[in-house]
Structure 1
Amino acid sequence: MFRKLKSDIQAVFDNDPAARSWFEVIFTYSGLHAIWAHRLAHRFYRRGWFTMARTISQASRFTTGIEIHPGATIGERLFIDHGMGVVIGETCEIGDDVVIYQGVTLGGTGKEKGKRHPTIGNNVVISSGSKVLGSFKVGDYSNIGANSVVLKEIPPNSTVVGIPGRVVKQDGKRIDRLSQQLPDPIIDSMRELQLEIYELREELKKLKSLQEQDCLEKETVARGNKV
């Protein structure tokens, strides 16, 4: 337990250049207080003492502005910077060495039961105002840009931005999504014209076939009359 507390403190020094002393970190960092309160609440939660667990988490929410459900599973060295407005849902799972900035929500998308919150891999950075909603995984070493809304699984080593979130970089290589995602009106028009031409050709074939049949019938009738 004390090893985890010490590693939580070290995570602050590793991620925040403004941290000056252990005394300052221990007594003034609300993100650290919220994590410690959660670790205690989570112990009660696992033992089935749900009311006690929720009481601790609500007290922590009141004092820190960070809401972490006691059922959430949090790995080692999580760092919550500033932290105000952070919400972490009940079935959320967070790996090791994750960094979360203020205003982040790790939530669900409705009233479904069971696993309904995201699983965050190791060494993930989630920037200010981002929303990660749903039961899927964010791969290791991924970065989620500020104010992004992520609604589907993210592969490892990815950078995600936008609403809805899309991968713009993976394994250090930039991904050109414009040609893949944005519609091309000229290409779409050409495809529609090709489809119309094909349909018109089929109609002409049918008409020619009907005309030929009609001509044959007329010829047959004419021959019968002559006889």
Structure 2
Amino acid sequence: MFDRVREDVRTMRERDPAARSTLEVLLCYPGLHAVWGHLLAHALWPRTPLLARLLSQFVRLLTGVEIHPGADVGRRVTIDHGAGVVVGETAEIGDDVHLYHGVTLGGDSPEPVKRHPTVRDGVTIGANATLLGDIEIGENARVGAGAVVTKDVPADVTVAGIPAKQVGEESSVEAEPSPSVE
């Protein structure tokens, strides 16, 4: 557990230029506190779901971040500012994901099935973005602030808008050279 905390603090210090010290990150970053609280609630979830839910609600009260104890959260997941983030029960978040405030990983079905997004490794999701349903956000994709995403997003692309659409070029594809004019 302590290795995980050290890893998360180091990652946040790398991602946030406002982080001045390890102690500041340990004490003053509610997004990290929410992830750590989720680790405990997630461990309790299979054996004592009510206790897990109570713990997750207490963490939400303290941090403003609601992560359902059934959600799977990877390593080095950081939540910048934190307020208003909601992660649903069947959501899956990979490693090295960065979420900004107001992000929702929400469901689109009342049925007890996989109904929340899967966010692959290295994804960044901008402030107040809403991702709904059993969709997949590919590795290293970026979701713009305020976007509403209801369809899969391929790896290495940026989407923005309502509804979200790809913007710019894929980062893994080199641009074609411009034809020369003679």
Output the TM-score relative to the length of structure 2.
0.92
Map 1:5-84 onto structure 2 (within 5 A): 5-46=5-46, 48-84=47-83
CA-CA distance at 1:164 after TM superposition: 0.7
Q: Which runs of 5+ in 1 are unaligned?
A: 175-227
Give the letter for the 1:50 counterpart.
P
Deviation (angstroms), 1:110 = 2.8
Q: Partner letter of residue 125 of structure 2?
A: I
Q: Does the 8 Å CA contact 2:158/2:170 hold for their aligned counterparts?
A: no
User: Cα deviation per residue 1:81-137 (whole Å; 9 max; x = unaligned)?
Assistant: 001000000000000100000010001113122100000011100000100001011
Deviations 1:168-199 (A, max 9, x none): 2342369xxxxxxxxxxxxxxxxxxxxxxxxx
Is the 8 Å Cα contact of residues 78 and 99 (structure 1) preserved in structure 2?
Answer: yes
Q: Contact 1:157 / 1:170 at 8 angstroms: preserved in 2?
A: no
Higher relative contact order (CA 8 A, sep 6+): 2
Residues 179-194 of structure 1 aligned to structure 2 (within 5 Å): none
Measured after TM superposition, the shift of residue 11 of structure 1 is 1.4
* CA deviation profile, 1:38-78 (whole Å, cap 9, x unmatched): 000000013x2101101110000001100000000000001
Assess if the C-alpha contact under 8 Å between 2:137 and 2:155 holds in 1.
yes
CA distance in 2, matches of 1:97, 1:105: 18
Provide the rounded CA distance (Å) in 1 between the counterparts of 2:120 and 2:19: 25
2: CA distance between counterparts of 1:169 and 1:116?
Answer: 29
Equivalenced residue count is 173
Q: Which has the larger radius of gyration?
A: 1
> 3-state SS of the aligned residue for 1:160?
strand
Counterpart of 1:100 in 2: which secondary structure? strand
AA in 2 matched with 1:26: L
CA contact (8 A) 1:84 1:103 kept: yes
CA shift in 2, pair 1:134/1:97, >3 Å: same
Equivalent residue letter for 1:23: L
Query: Which residue identity does 2:94 align to in structure 1?
Result: G
| 1:144 counterpart residue number | 143
DSSP 3-state at the match of 1:167: strand
**What is the identity percentage for the equivalent residue pairs of Structure 1 and Structure 2?**
47
Aligned residue for 2:119?
A: 120
1:33 & 1:70 partners in 2: Cα distance?
Answer: 14
Match runs of 1:80-95 below 5 Å: 80-95=79-94
Aligned Cα root-mean-square deviation (Å): 1.3
How many angstroms apart in 1 are the aligned matches of 2:10 and 2:54?
28
CA distance in 2, matches of 1:163, 1:7: 35
- The residue number in structure 2 matching 1:168 is 167
Say which structure is richer in helix: 1
Deviations 1:13-62 (CA, angstroms, capped at 9, x unpaired): 0110011111111111101110110000000013x210110111000000
